[in-house]
A and B are shown apart, each in its own frame.
Chain A
Amino acid sequence: MVFNTGATLLDAIVLSVVSREEEGTYGYRITQEVQSVLDVSDSTLYPVLRRLQKDECLAVYDREFAGRNRRYYRLTQQGYAQLGMYQTEWMNYSEKITGILASGRNRL
C-alpha cells in the first residue's frame, strides 16, 4: 500500500479484529486477519498485541486447544472504549479524505 499505516491505525485494526470474536482470538489468526487487509510484516503484530495488553486494552487467557494451551486475546472494557474512539475518529477522518480525493479532477 502506498499510504502509511501508523501505530494508531494498527492498534485500531487489531482491536477491531479481536473484538469480532466474542470469545477472543489468538495470535496466528489475528495476524492472518490483519494481513488480509493490510500489508504488515508478521513480526509486527506481536509487539502491537503486547502493548495493547500492557495498556489494558486487551486481556489474555489460556484455553486448551488440541491438547495444548493456546493464548487468547479479548478486549477489556477499556479496549472497547478505545475501539469506540477509534471508530468515531476513523469515520470522521476517512470521510474527509474520501471527500477530498473524490472531488479531485484527474485530467489525464
Chain B
Amino acid sequence: MSKKEYLDSLERLLADVPSEERQAALEYYTDYLEDAGPEGVAQAIEHLGTPEVVAAAIKDSINGDMGSGYTTETGYREGTPGANPYAPADQSSGGRSSQNGNGQSSQNGSGQSSHNKNDQGSYYSNGQSGQSGNGQNSQYSNEQTSPRGNGRSSQSDNGQNSQYSNGQQTSQTSNSQNSYDAAADPGTEKRQNKRMALGWIVLIIFGIIFFGIPVFSVAGSLLLAIIATLLAISLSGFAVFLALLIAGGVLAVIGIVKLLVFPGLGIMMAGMGLILLAIAMVALAIGIAIVRTFIPWLCRSIVWIFQKLFHVGGHRS
C-alpha cells in the first residue's frame, strides 16, 4: 500500500468523525509518513497497522475511551488490573510462537480491523487483538521469536472479553483455540441473558393472569357499584323533585282554596306547599349537579385507570 493509498483509506474510514478531528488526524499521519522518509514509508505503514486499526484508535479516543482522569491530584486511579500475568500461560509451545508471528503479519496484510473498546487494551492491541486471549503468552512468544516489528503490537494485556464482543475477530487468529474459548464466553452469557429475560416475561404473564383476574373483577364490581350508586342518587334526586313538586303544588292549591274558608289552616297548607316546592328545587339542583359533574368525572377516572393499567402493562413486557 502506498502512502497515498494509506492516507486515502484512512480518510474514508474517518468519514464519520467530526471534520476537525479527521483533518487533524490526517495531517498527523501525513506528517508521520513523510517523516518516515521515502525508504522508511513501507516499514512505517507496516508498523502502524492497517488504516482500520489506526482509524479505530482515533475513533476510540474521540469517544472518550482513552480514559480521562489524568489530572487528579493523587494520580491516575483507573482500574488496570488486566489479565493475570501469572495465569497458566502455555509458554512451552515453540510451535505456537511461530504461529503467532505468522498469523499476525498475515492479519496485517489482510486488512482486518479489530480495535477494542478497552482503555488499556487499546494501547496495546489495536492491531492484533486476536491474540489477546492469551495476552501475556503471545507477548512472550513474540518477543522470543519474532522481530520487533511484528512483536510490537501484539500485546493485549487485558480485555479478552471486550475485544471479542466486537464480534469481528473470532476467526482471525492462528491460535484459534484460545480465541475461541474467550469468544465463547460472551456468547453464552448473551444466550443466558436471553433465556432469563424469557423466563421473566412468562412469569409476568402468569402473574397478570393469576392476580389480574381477581383484581380486575374486584375493581370492576367496585366501579359498577360506584356508577350505580351515583346514578341512583341522581335518579332519586329527580324522583324527589317530581314528588315534592306534585305534593307542593297540590298543597299550595288546596291551601289557597282553604284560605277562603279557614284562613289559618289555608295559610299553613299553602306555606307548607311552597316549602315543599323549594325542597323540590334543591333536589333538582342536586340531581343536575350529580349528572353534570360526577358522571364526567367518573368517565375520566375510568379512562385514566385503564390508561394507567395499559401503560404499566406495556412497560413491564
Question: Which residues from chain A sit less than 8 Å from chain B, CB to CB?
Answer: 1-2, 4-11, 26-29, 31, 35, 39-44, 46-51, 55, 68, 70-71, 82, 85, 89, 93
Please, which residues of chain B bring their CB within 8 A of the CB of A31?
Answer: 32
B178 within 8 A of A: no
The CA-CA distance from A39 to B124 in the complex, in Å, is: 8
Contact B66 A48 (CB under 8 A): yes
Contact A43 B53 (CB under 8 A): yes
Question: Which residues from chain B sit less than 8 Å from chain A, CB to CB?
Answer: 21, 24-25, 27-29, 31-32, 34-36, 44, 47-49, 53-54, 57-58, 60-61, 66-67, 69-71, 73, 75-76, 78, 80, 82, 85, 119-120, 122-127, 136, 139, 151-153, 155, 157-158
Please, which residues of chain B bring their CB within 8 A of the CB of A6?
Answer: 67, 76, 78, 80, 120
Contact A5 B123 (CB under 8 A): yes
Q: Say whether, besides A40-B123, A47-B61, A51-B66, A7 and B32 are in contact (CB < 8 Å).
A: no
Contact A44 B57 (CB under 8 A): yes
Q: Say whether, besides A2-B136, A29-B35, A8 and B155 are in contact (CB < 8 Å).
A: no
Contact B25 A46 (CB under 8 A): yes
Q: State how many angstroms separate the Cβ of A79 from the closest Cβ of chain B.
A: 11
Residue in contact with A2 in the complex, picked from B32, B61, B75, B85, CB distance below 8 Å: B85
Q: State how many angstroms separate the Cβ of B229 from the closest Cβ of chain A.
A: 70
The CA-CA distance from A93 to B77 in the complex, in Å, is: 13
Q: Say whether, besides A4-B80, A7-B66, A8-B75, A50 and B25 are in contact (CB < 8 Å).
A: yes
Contact B47 A42 (CB under 8 A): yes
Q: Say whether, besides A47-B61, A50-B25, A71-B27, A39 and B152 are in contact (CB < 8 Å).
A: yes
Contact A26 B48 (CB under 8 A): no
Q: List 16 A-B contacts (CB under 8 A).
A: A2-B85, A2-B136, A6-B78, A7-B120, A7-B123, A8-B70, A8-B78, A31-B32, A40-B124, A42-B48, A42-B152, A42-B153, A43-B57, A51-B61, A55-B71, A70-B34
Please, which residues of chain A bring their CB within 8 A of the CB of B57?
Answer: 43-44, 46-47
Contact B35 A28 (CB under 8 A): yes
The CA-CA distance from A48 to B68 in the complex, in Å, is: 11
Q: State how many angstroms separate the Cβ of B90 from the closest Cβ of chain A.
A: 16
Q: Say whether, besides A27-B31, A55-B71, A89-B75, A4 and B49 are in contact (CB < 8 Å).
A: no
The CA-CA distance from A46 to B35 in the complex, in Å, is: 14
The CA-CA distance from A86 to B35 in the complex, in Å, is: 29
Contact B76 A7 (CB under 8 A): yes
Residue in contact with B124 in the complex, picked from A41, A55, A68, A85, CB distance below 8 Å: A41
B139: nearest residue on chain A (CB-CB)? Answer: A2
Residue in contact with B31 in the complex, picked from A1, A35, A70, CB distance below 8 Å: A70
The CA-CA distance from A5 to B50 in the complex, in Å, is: 23
The CA-CA distance from A33 to B157 in the complex, in Å, is: 22
